[in-house]
Amino acid sequence: MEAHNLSCAICLERFKFPVTIPCGHTFCKDCISRHWDQREKVGPQPAEFNCPVCNETFSSRPTLKRNVSLSLLTEVTVNSSAGKDNSASCRGDAANAGPEQFCGRHQKPLVLYCRNDGMCVCCACAVNECKSHDKVLIEEERNSREAGLKKKGLEVKKCREDTERNILELSENIAKAKVSLQQTSQWVNVKFTQLLKVLVEKQELTQSFVEQQQESALSQAQARLSELQEKAQQLLELEEQIDSLCALPDCLLIQDSRLVEVPQMGEVPVEVSVNVQDKLNPVTDLLSRVSKLVCEDLDKAVYAVVGHDKEGSPQDKRPVLAVVPSPATPSYPAGKEGLSAYRCSLTFDPRTANAHLLLSQSNRRAEHLTSGPRPVPAHEARFDHTWQVLCFENFTHGRHYWELEVSKPWAYVGVTYQAIPRKEKGKTCMLGMNELSWSLQLDERQLSAWHAGRRESVAGQLQLHTQPLRIGMLLDYEAGTLTYYGEGQVRLHAFHCVFSQELFPACWIGEGVSVTLCPP
């Protein structure tokens, strides 16, 4: 091809970055740009943009676009005799192209993109080093990359919008959660506050009633006491009169003694009737149930939520549950006559009774006072913190059967070795909560067997709504069995164990509950 066909009409040199304007003529990009820049500075306003060759004018400054074909032809002609350098050097120079996008080694425009090497190259690089590589025009690769970027941009935008939407939704949920938690906290606090307020009000009202009853009873008793004191004074004066008459001469004594008469005084009752307890029975029963709900059921519910035990409390009645190995059924004579042959007589030991427990009926009845603990002498055998009492009697051999009546289903009944702890707080001292004792828990919902702090639900049925509850217990020391019986001596449960020490019948008694040992 003629050399002048590859030259710019302005600079008369070989094309450098050839661009084509709308009329079809081609110039160096820098040459035509400078030409039009000068027209803008010195030309008429508005400036006219024309072609230096055909003088065609354009209403606005045309956009310059590279003539790719002419660029390739120019580069091939210039570099047809150029030697080959190593490809790494070429690629390195191409990668370091300046802002004008020229090849650093050949100083030629970067017009192609080598997909194998992943970089932009000039025509010389394309001919010499990337001859067999997959190459496309930079504009084409740019369009492809722009399309990919736009697609990724849409994905990023969607992801950002989703994230912002999630942020908004989470923020709203956090606000709702705060409101819900605040409402729950307020509700709980209001309920506890209301409960405390009602308890205080009813306590004051009940206390006022008790004080009124006390005042009335004591006032009546005081009036009778004054009457008796007045009669005593009258009798004393009469007694002194009789003594003075006895000192008179005979005639005077005979005459004046006729005037002495023993007064006829009505009987004044000396009993002080205090029937407040009978009147308060509905209140004490309700308080016992409320106390059970608060001390046991609420404690269990809170423990289940917060996940920690409330140590050190004598009301701690529900230790961690576990499984007791299910025992075999002992082979004893069925029917009442068979068990009656082993009946024994038991009494409670007052030395062991907790201060909340009051013994009566010749120590056959133990009642948990609702009025609080009573003064009791200190004793090494006494349960200081656990609502518990042992019996005097103990067994080291043989078979023994006894029955007891429980006023309400809130007690533990069983047997224990003498070494059971008695001074500690918490569940350590309770029947069945250590390896030294065995017990049956009577609860209004179910029966449970306890040993070593492990629990087993009792399959046997007991009429819990029937009060008092009658429980029979048969201890066979040599066989190592402790069997429980319900109404009609229906078998409820049996423990199997090798007993090694003397066993004492024992009871843990809930508030407001009484346990009575039945006579043989």
Instruction: Supply the DSSP string of 285-342, one letter for each residue.
Output: HHHHHHHHIIIIIIHHHHHHHH----TT-TT--------PPPPPPP----SHHHHHTT
Strand partners, 515: 366, 406
DSSP3 helix / strand / coil % (the chain, rounded to 5): 40, 20, 40
CATH 3.40.1190.20 fits 336-517, yes or no: no
Query: Which range has the top average pLDDT, 30-39, 103-112, 325-334, 472-481?
Result: 472-481
The DSSP call for residue 64 is: P
Count of CB atoms situated within 10 Å of the CB of 419: 10
**Cα distance between residue 409 and residue 469, in whole Å:** 7
Q: Which amino acid is at 71?
A: S
Res. 332: pLDDT tops 60 = no
- For position 336, what pLDDT does the model report? 46
Question: For the chain, what percent of residues have pLDDT higher than 70?
Answer: 84
pLDDT (tens digit per residue) in 172-186? 999 999 998 988 888
pLDDT (tens digit per residue) in 266-297? 788 888 776 676 677 778 777 777 776 777 67
- For position 391, what pLDDT does the model report? 98
> pLDDT: is 48 or 336 the higher one?
48
Segment 109-115 shows an average pLDDT of 89
Query: Could you check whether 3-139 and 336-517 share the same CATH topology?
Result: no
Res. 502: pLDDT tops 90 = yes
**Cα distance between residue 12 and residue 278, in whole Å:** 130
Q: 504: closest CA among 486, 482, 484? A: 482
**Cα distance between residue 386 and residue 276, in whole Å:** 28
pLDDT (tens digit per residue) in 204-253? 998 888 888 888 888 888 888 998 898 889 889 888 888 888 888 888 88
- For position 45, what pLDDT does the model report? 63
**Cα distance between residue 123 and residue 70, in whole Å:** 11
> pLDDT: is 213 or 431 the higher one?
431
Res. 139: pLDDT tops 60 = yes
**Cα distance between residue 413 and residue 76, in whole Å:** 110
- For position 91, what pLDDT does the model report? 44
**Cα distance between residue 393 and residue 352, in whole Å:** 13
Sequence ranges of the domains in the chain? 3-139, 140-257, 336-517
- For position 374, what pLDDT does the model report? 92
269 within 8 A of 224, measured Cβ to Cβ: yes
The set of residues, in sequence order, having a beta carbon less than 8 Å from that of 486 and lying 6+ positions away, is: 460, 461, 462, 463, 470, 471, 472, 492
Please confirm whether the linkage preceding 46 is cis (ω < 30° from 0): yes
- For position 155, what pLDDT does the model report? 94
**Cα distance between residue 196 and residue 211, in whole Å:** 22
Across the chain, which distance is largest between two alpha carbons, in Å?
192
Res. 492: pLDDT tops 80 = yes
> pLDDT: is 375 or 487 the higher one?
375
> pLDDT: is 419 or 337 the higher one?
419
- Give the burial string for 72-94 (b: 16+ CB within 10 Å, else e): bbbbeebbeeeeeeeeeebbebb
Question: For the chain, what percent of residues have pLDDT higher than 90?
Answer: 41
- For position 44, what pLDDT does the model report? 58
Looking at 3.30.40.10, 1.10.645.10, 3.40.50.300, 3.30.70.560, the CATH number of the domain 3-139 comes to 3.30.40.10
- For position 294, what pLDDT does the model report? 77
- For position 210, what pLDDT does the model report? 86
Res. 371: pLDDT tops 50 = yes
Q: What is the pTM of this model?
A: 0.43
The set of residues, in sequence order, having a beta carbon less than 8 Å from that of 8 and lying 6+ positions away, is: 14, 15, 16, 18, 26, 27, 28, 31
